Structures are given as C-alpha cells and as structure tokens.
A = this chain, B = another copy of it.
Amino acid sequence: MSRISYREALRLALRDALAREPRAFLIGEDVGKYGGTYAVSKGMLDEFGPERVRDTPLSELGFTGIGIGAAIGGMRPIVEIMTVNFSLLALDQIVNTAALYRHMSGGQFSVPLVIRTSSGAGRQLAAQHSHSFEAWFAHVPGIRVVAAASIEDARGMLWPALLDPDPVIVFEYPALFNMEGECPDAVAVDIRSAKVRREGAQVSLITYGASLPKTLEAAEQLAREGIDAEVLDLRVLRPLDEAALLASVRKTRRAVVIDESWRSGGLAAEVMARIIEGAFYDLDAPPARVCSEEVPVPYAKHLEDAALPQAGKIVAAAERLVRGAGA
C-alpha cells in the first residue's frame, strides 16, 4: 500500500505491462519523445526503446488501424488515442475492423488490442476537447469498455485488459490525474464487474469515470443530511455488470444515474433502461439522471461548471427521490 497519484498509477500500470508482456508495445501520438501528453509514459522511450514506445504522426485512423493489424498479427498493441475527441477519426477502424473482425470471420481471428484514451471535461478546454463518448463505444458488440475512476483501477485495469484476447477500450480521466490516494501493491482488478464504492441503504448513486469523486462527495453531503446513499462505480461500461446494478437498486429502491456525457443517449440512458427492465417493481420512485447539459461544453469556467454534473445537482436529485416530491 502506498500513496500515489492517479497519473502515477497509470504510469506504473503501463510500465508493468511493457515489462511483463514482450509482445506489448505502446503506440500513439507523442507517447515517446514528448513523454506522453499527460506524462503517463514519461521515461518509457528510454527504458523500452522506440520499437516498443512508438511515436506516431497525426494519423488517428492509420495508427489505430495499424494497431488492429498488429494485434491480428500476433502482437499485443496498446494504442493510445490521445483523447477521445480524436477517436472520432479512428472510429471506422475500431468499429468496422476491430469489433467485427472475429465474428465476421467465423471466429478465425482474434484482435487482442487495447486502446487507451482520455475522456471528459472540466479543464476549460472548450467544446472540441471536452467530449465524453464512452456511450458510443459501449454500444458496439465485440469490444469491452472499461473506465478507470479510481487509483486502484488506473493501476490495475491495464493488465487484465492486455490479457483479454479481444479488443478492450480503457478510458482514463485527465480530471483525475492529480488525485492522490492509497494504492494496493498487488492489484488485480476484475474488469468484469462494477464496484460499490460506498455502501448505503436509501438511494443508489450510479456512475463511472470522472464523476465518481463528485458522486462520493455528494454522498458525504447526503450523509450529513441524514440520507444514506450507496455509490456504485460501473467500471465496465460494456458489457454492463447488470447484476451489480440491479442488486444495488433492489436494495435501495431508488437510483440516480450520474453521467458526464450529454443527457440524450448518454450511457445513463442505458443504465435507466436496465433498471427499468430488471427492477421496475422494486422501485419506490422513478430513477433520475444527472448528466451534462445538452450544449457544447463552453470554455468559461462558470459556464463549464454549469454544463457538467456537480455534487450539488446530484444531492438535489437524490433528495428529491428520497424525500419524494412525487412524480
């Protein structure tokens, strides 16, 4: 157990992966000489050399496709798409090649690919650099999607992702990079299940990614008001850990889903649907969503804050559910 930052946890995970798996290599923009956009891969070019820490030109479609091809060819590539904003340029390769390849070939080829990308807003980077597209990836059969919302997950998700014989997309959150906390020394994260981050009895606050700290903060606040909230970190966005989701909701009989993506069609919608399909008769009130406002994320701080989920909004939504303003 040691105290490290989320960034450091990502770094350790990456170093570990490259050290343990000789077929693994890191490929992406500025992962090498620059030291990684967020300094996650700093020093690794020197340690592992340019074949295993491969800087690429600005060619998201191309180098992601190359990662896919290399995976099919027997390597274990870790493709870093600098931010999810740029992943749109690579989406065709991810969907039409990586995700479909095994099924469409009748099971002849697997694609043991890991894509790491960073997601979310909150740093005043404005509309084009503040996207959250987790839900889009989580829509596609054939890939696994995980989101690291904790230091433990930042440290422990990459290795099992690398062991997965099929494509895994790992979401990382710059908004959390400087967060510090205890990290167990031997981390074996189960990338198949959600995790209860706080036990509670009256309402389930269900979230993932950068909204987790805000949600935990909201839970604290609620506790002070005498409302006992459970916090569930989804962690696996595809396939959703429906059992954990339903277990929590069946227990608390109320749910607020917190999601930094835009409300309409964000991941929260799917969570709502699962709750309704699986626990309708267990509910005391309709589940609610706290999502981003449906606007491009603005640069100005006060506007950005207003556009994103915040602890205050989560608290208010939970209060409404528990105290019951009716429908």
Contacts and interface: CB of A to CB of B under 8 A. Distances in A.
Given A92-B89, A96-B85, A96-B88, A264 B138 contact: yes
A270 B139 CA distance: 13
B88 A100 contact: no
Most buried by B among A96, A238, A262, A285: A96
Contacts of A266: 139
Task: Assign chain A's interface to a size class.
Answer: 35 or more
Given A88-B91, A88-B96, A296-B100, A273 B277 contact: no
A157 B182 CA distance: 57
A138 B280 contact: no
Contacts of A95: 88, 131
B139 A281 contact: no
Q: What copy number does this chain have within its complex?
A: 2
27 contacts: A88-B95, A91-B91, A96-B128, A103-B295, A103-B296, A104-B128, A104-B296, A104-B298, A135-B139, A136-B139, A138-B264, A139-B264, A139-B265, A139-B266, A141-B262, A141-B294, A142-B296, A269-B270, A269-B272, A273-B273, A273-B289, A276-B286, A276-B287, A277-B286, A280-B285, A280-B286, A281-B327
Contact of A100 (B104, B128, B270): B128
7 shortest interchain CB distances as A-B pairs: A280-B286, A139-B265, A272-B273, A88-B92, A269-B269, A281-B327, A141-B294
Most buried by B among A126, A265, A268, A298: A265
Given A136-B139, A281-B286, 16 more contacts: A88-B92, A100-B127, A104-B127, A139-B264, A141-B262, A141-B294, A239-B264, A265-B267, A265-B269, A268-B273, A269-B269, A269-B270, A272-B272, A277-B286, A280-B327, A281-B327
A288 interface: yes
A18 interface: no
